[in-house]
Amino acid sequence: MFKSEVYTKRREELHKKIKSGIALFISNIEAPLNYPANTYHFRQDSDFLYFFGIDLPGFTGVMDFDSGKDRLFGNDYEMDDIIWMGPQPTIKELAMKCGITDTAPTTKLEEIIKDALSKKRKIHFLPPYRSETKMMLGSLLKENPCQMITLASVDLIKAVISMRSIKEKVEIDEIEKAVDIAYEMHVTAMKMCKQGVREQDIFGTLEGIALAKGGGTSFPIILSVDGQTLHNHAHGNILRKGRMMVTDAGAETNLHYASDITRTTPVGGKFSPKQKDIYEIVLKANTEAIKATRPGISNRDLHFMACKIITTEMKSLGLMKGDVDEAVAAGAHALFMPHGLGHMMGLDVHDMEALGENFIGYNDEVKRSDQFGTAFLRFALPYKPGHVFTIEPGCYFIPELIEKWKSEGKFKDFINYSKIEDYMSIGGIRIEDDVLITENGHKVLGKPIPKTVKEVESICS
Ligand code: GLY
Ligand code: MN
Ligand code: MN
């Protein structure tokens, strides 16, 4: 945990933003894998972590915006628990660690909610994403658990987003640690990227590094020579010369801050001329977008800048044609880059996504596009100092999508379908870094991970 003042200060800030009612922050609980006592790796709820810091299941934090008081609900461990788990802190001791003095057993929670309901007080909560949290809320509030997402407090969502979006120094330090773990993971993947090696061998090795150095991976590792599948969680291939391995992998620190890095490596460590052609395009989109990152410019502007770089360069290779601005405005580039340039990152790898993407990255003035490709942009607003974003352009040869568009004659004025055939074996290329927006510009976080053709070839050799 951070020092108790960090959590006290955050809660004080939230008290200033919300004027009345009470807020419930429900921690996650253990989730059974194949029988109740055999559980998945425990991951605390990120909002609970942000305001209360306690990394254990079964607690609820309540903030009363009228009285200004905070209280932690939970039960002390009993002898039956201690026999299996060893000595545990009391709830009072845990509460002190996040600056709270007032605690109560879980059974008391029902009473105070009942009382609040009877007085028609507003009960704020964030959109639950786990069934057990929906059930608990439904039971406390006497509502249908299936409705709990729609009943979440928009005021609380907006207040929490405004706070969690701007990273504190202690958080940035944690994210840098997470990127440094990713450095170890990616350099290891590059060194292992040799003919005859199984993807699973590399995948398992990276998982081990993330667990040995921090809190494990920040999302299921994407590692495949079938990089054209954007989130490919299968690792069954054997590496063969002529393919490129996309490794999209990040770690959590022990305090659960994330990194999210992608590198693409030619099997055997040497780029072929065609692989290099496409790699250099994605690299240019990545480095130019990072260079332009500063407060005031929007993630959507930067996204289109990267799309235009990709379109211009694909045109010079003969894969695209026509006017670049028109092609991008029409959405033709999305054949090769059907996703957004990046997303916020912090305690969640897609930071705060559970609170609703449109609350984070859009507002009343800036609405989400419904055009294929641009619709997947998670954030369209201007950057502010303290934001942490991924910059992750990519270029993919997705056989099913190419075949569909080709058969429909879609964008035939912008795409040279006959030329695409020469590049299909590339699969996909993505290059992703984690960037802090500073007062005057940006800072790429963590130890630089090999990225240029020369750097990648040198590490692989
Ligand atoms: N790791 C998934 C992504 O890059 O968004
Ligand atoms: Mn990623
Ligand atoms: Mn990402």
The pLDDT of residue 181 is above 90: yes
Mean pLDDT of 188-197: 98
Residue-level pLDDT at 383: 98
CA 187, 188, 191 angle in degrees (round to 5)?
85
12-24 pLDDT, tens digit each = 999 999 999 999 9
Q: What is the pTM of this model?
A: 0.97
Rounded to the nearest whole angstrom, what is the distance from the C-alpha of residue 340 to the centroid of ligand 1?
10
Report the share of the chain in percent with pLDDT over 90: 100
Cα–Cα distance, 120 to 46 (Å, whole number) = 29
| Residue 423 pLDDT > 90 | yes
Segment 428-446 shows an average pLDDT of 98
**Tokens found for residue 374:** 């641009």
Quote the percentage of the chain above a pLDDT of 70.
100
Ligand 1 closest atom vs CA 219: 1
What is the structure's pLDDT at 455? 98
Answer positive or negative: Cα dihedral of 268, 270, 274, 275: positive
Q: Which ligand is nearest to the CA of 389?
A: 3
Strand, helix or coil for residue 274: helix
Confidence band for 153, pLDDT divided at 50, 70 and 90: very high
Task: Return the pLDDT at 311.
Answer: 98
Give distance in angstroms: CA of 274 to centre of ligand 3.
Answer: 25
pLDDT at 422: 93
With the most atoms of ligand 1 within 8 angstroms of its CB, the residue from 222, 299, 429 to mutate is 222
* Mean pLDDT over the full length of the chain: 97
Residue of 392, 430, 431, 433 best suited for mutating to test ligand 1, as the one with most atoms within 8 Å of CB: 392
Q: What is the pLDDT of residue 160?
A: 98
Q: Evaluate the CA torsion angle 35, 256, 229, 268 in order and state its sign.
A: negative
Domains located in the chain, CATH noted? 4-164 (3.40.350.10), 169-460 (3.90.230.10)
Looking at the CA of residue 339, tell me the nearest atom of ligand 1.
5
**For 294-312, how does the pLDDT look when each residue is reduced to its tens digit (9 = 90+)?**
999 999 999 999 999 999 9
Per the document, the length of the chain is 461
Atom of ligand 1 nearest to the CA of 432: 4
* Ion ligand 3 residues within 5 Å by Cβ: 260, 390
Q: How far apart are CA 23 and CA 126, in angstroms?
A: 9
Tell me how far apart the 2 most distant CA atoms of the chain are, in Å: 74
* pLDDT of 407 above 90: yes
Average pLDDT over residues 448-458: 98
pLDDT at position 412: 97
- Residue 81's alpha-carbon distances to 6, 74, 77, 84, in angstroms, are 30, 14, 6, 6
**Model pLDDT for residues 103-136, shown as the tens digit of each residue:** 999 999 999 999 999 999 999 999 999 999 999 9
| pLDDT for residue 232 | 87
Euclidean distance between CA atoms 248 and 262, whole angstroms: 4
Output the residue whose Cα is nearest ligand 1's atom 3: 260
| Residue 433 Cβ < 6 Å to ligand 1 | no
Local confidence band at 33 (pLDDT 50, 70, 90 cut-offs) = very high
pLDDT score recorded for residue 406: 97
Dihedral sign (CA 341, 346, 350, 352): negative
CB proximity list for 392: less than 8 A, separation 6 or greater: 260, 262, 286, 339, 341, 342, 430, 431, 432, 433
Note the pLDDT tens digit of each residue in 339-395. 999 999 999 999 999 999 999 999 999 999 999 999 999 999 999 999 999 999 999
**What local confidence, expressed as pLDDT, does residue 370 receive?**
96
Rounded average pLDDT over 403-408? 98
Q: What is the DSSP string of 178-246?
A: HHHHHHHHHHHHHHH--TT-BHHHHHHHHHHHHHHHSSSBSSPPEEES-TTSTT-----PBP-TT-EEE
The beta-carbon contacts of 284-287 under 8 Å, at least 24 apart in sequence, are: 284/309, 284/313, 285/309, 285/310, 285/393, 286/391, 286/392, 286/393, 286/431, 286/432, 286/433, 286/451
In degrees rounded to 5, what are phi and psi of residue 329? -60, -35
